[in-house]
């Protein structure tokens, strides 16, 4: 598996995919065929369905930024972050009642649809099974992380960031859920939710995890944070726009999902702050209703455009990305080039 040169981002993604395929295949063989193996197979299906492997890529380049050169161990460590992401998206889809992920039925919908003959509530069964699939992905992420092959002290340093990453994303998800339930959030709180949900989880913490196993000194970790924190927030703000304006053929997720769920994103917060009384009343009345008509959806989109909320959110994404790119330029040329390319990918507009 180990190449004779330091791999590029594309090669790392290929190696991560190979590692995940081999690891999950091994886990499947450890349990009996049939129903008992079904959970591992579903984790494998979600992992194989797509994804850009951004978190493994950022982990790898954090490692390279700190002078790391060994390949196999960092690939295994980076791959564990994709299993953690699998846990997060499976549970997120249950919380959001989403029907699609990566262009395929979500785990809870798949289980509910397959168990048509089950007695009782099939939807409850599907959601319960999906929670277990996510739990399994969480446990397997730990197993792959801890078996990556790094020496104990380096692994312990990385585990500290790994733990922080997981705490933050759970806090962010809870605040996101709470905000949707309560129905109103200001723009400052919406930005904090975005930073917790993705600022650390997608970019900053994967970078720091990779750097930690390479023995990075504190100043280097600080430099990576200057790049990772703004880019992670930009990534989430972009995702919030895609949740309203994205093309399902491009995103692989439900259209209008955030409007149906009543997500209190920065996009929504700005629109509420700027809307005329009539439009604000419509926003409050329609947002978060499962019975939204297509006419309602289009009217809400018009409000988000006419108030300048879409333009303001896009402006903030560009500002945050520019800050990340400025920080990336301080690294050695090969690292700077890779981080700049990843920044472009993470903030790419599909709307």
What single string gives the DSSP state of each residue in 179-209? Answer: HHHH----HHHHHHHHIIIIIIIIIIHHHHH
- Looking from the CA of 188 toward its CB, the CA atoms found within 13 Å total 0
- 3-state SS track over 300-337: HHHHHHHCCHHHHHHHHHHHHHHHHHHHHCCCCHHHHH
The pLDDT value recorded for residue 144 is 98
Residue 4's pLDDT is 47
User: What parts of the chain have a pLDDT lower than 70?
Assistant: 1-4, 116-120, 349-351
**C-alpha to C-alpha distance for 261 and 240, rounded to whole angstroms:** 12
CA 317 – CA 231 distance, rounded (Å):
8
Q: Which fold has domain 9-346?
A: Farnesyl Diphosphate Synthase (1.10.600)
Nearest to 205 by CA among 78, 350, 43, 19: 78
Q: Can you tell me the distance from the alpha carbon of 228 to that of 54, in angstroms, rounded to the nearest whole number?
A: 12
Query: What is the rounded distance in angstroms from the CA atom of residue 221 to the CA atom of residue 42?
Result: 36
Q: Alpha-carbon distance 90 to 130, whole Å?
A: 7
Residue 151 φ then ψ, to 5°: -65, 160
- Half-sphere exposure of residue 263: CA atoms within 13 angstroms, side-chain side: 25
| Partners of 101 in the β-ladder | 104
List the one residue out of 58, 54, 61, 71 whose CA is nearest residue 3: 71
Q: Return the residue matching tokens 């949740």.
A: 243
- Residue 117: what pLDDT? 60
Name which of 61, 308, 331, 314 is nearest 208 in CA terms: 61
Q: What is the pLDDT of residue 292?
A: 86
Please compute, for residue 281, the number of CA atoms within 13 A of its CA located in the half-sphere on the CB side: 3
**pLDDT the model gives residue 349:** 64
Contact 76, 19 (CB under 8 A): yes
At 273, list the tokens: 């702050």
Interacting residues of 281 by C-beta distance below 8 A, sequence separation 6+: none
pLDDT at 311: 96
Q: Which two tokens stand for residue 179?
A: 């905000």
**Backbone torsions φ then ψ of 214, nearest 5 degrees:** -95, 5
Q: Which long-range contacts (CB under 8 A, 24 or more apart) does 217-223 make?
A: 220/65, 220/66, 223/327, 223/330, 223/331
Contact 241, 314 (CB under 8 A): yes
Give ∠ CA 290-313-292 in degrees, rounded to 5. 15
């Amino acid at each position: 598996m180990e190449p004779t040169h330091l791999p590029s981002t594309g090669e790392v993604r290929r190696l991560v995919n190979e590692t995940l395929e081999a690891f999950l295949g091994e886990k499947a063989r450890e349990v009996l065929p049939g129903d008992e193996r079904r959970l591992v197979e579903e984790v494998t299906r979600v992992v194989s369905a797509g994804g850009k492997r951004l978190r493994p890529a950022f982990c790898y380049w954090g490692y390279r930024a700190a002078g790391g050169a060994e390949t196999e161990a960092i690939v295994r460590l980076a791959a564990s972050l994709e299993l953690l992401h699998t846990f997060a998206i499976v549970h997120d889809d249950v919380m959001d009642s989403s029907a699609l992920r990566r262009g395929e039925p979500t785990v809870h919908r798949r289980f509910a649809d397959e168990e048509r003959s089950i007695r009782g509530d099939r939807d409850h069964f599907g959601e319960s099974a999906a929670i277990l699939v996510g739990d399994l992905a969480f446990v397997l992420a730990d197993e792959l992380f801890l078996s990556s092959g790094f020496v104990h002290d380096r692994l312990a340093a990385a585990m500290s960031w790994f733990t922080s990453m997981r705490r933050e994303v759970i806090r962010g998800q809870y605040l996101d859920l709470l905000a949707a339930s309560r129905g109103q959030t200001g723009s400052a709180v919406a930005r904090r939710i975005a930073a917790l949900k993705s600022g650390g989880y997608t970019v900053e913490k994967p970078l720091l995890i990779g750097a930690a196993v390479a023995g990075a000194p504190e100043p280097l970790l600080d430099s990576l944070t200057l790049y990772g924190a703004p880019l992670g927030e930009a990534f989430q703000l972009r995702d919030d726009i895609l949740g309203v304006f994205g093309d399902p053929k491009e995103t692989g997720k439900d259209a209008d999902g955030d409007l149906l769920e009543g997500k209190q994103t920065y996009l929504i917060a700005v629109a509420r702050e700027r809307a005329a009384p009539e439009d604000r009343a419509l926003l409050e009345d329609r947002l978060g209703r499962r019975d939204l008509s297509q006419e309602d959806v289009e009217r809400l989109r018009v409000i988000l455009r006419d108030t300048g909320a879409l333009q303001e959110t896009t402006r903030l994404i560009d500002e945050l990305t520019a800050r990340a790119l400025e920080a990336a330029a301080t690294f050695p040329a090969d690292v700077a080039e890779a981080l700049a390319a990843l920044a472009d990918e993470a903030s790419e507009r599909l709307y």
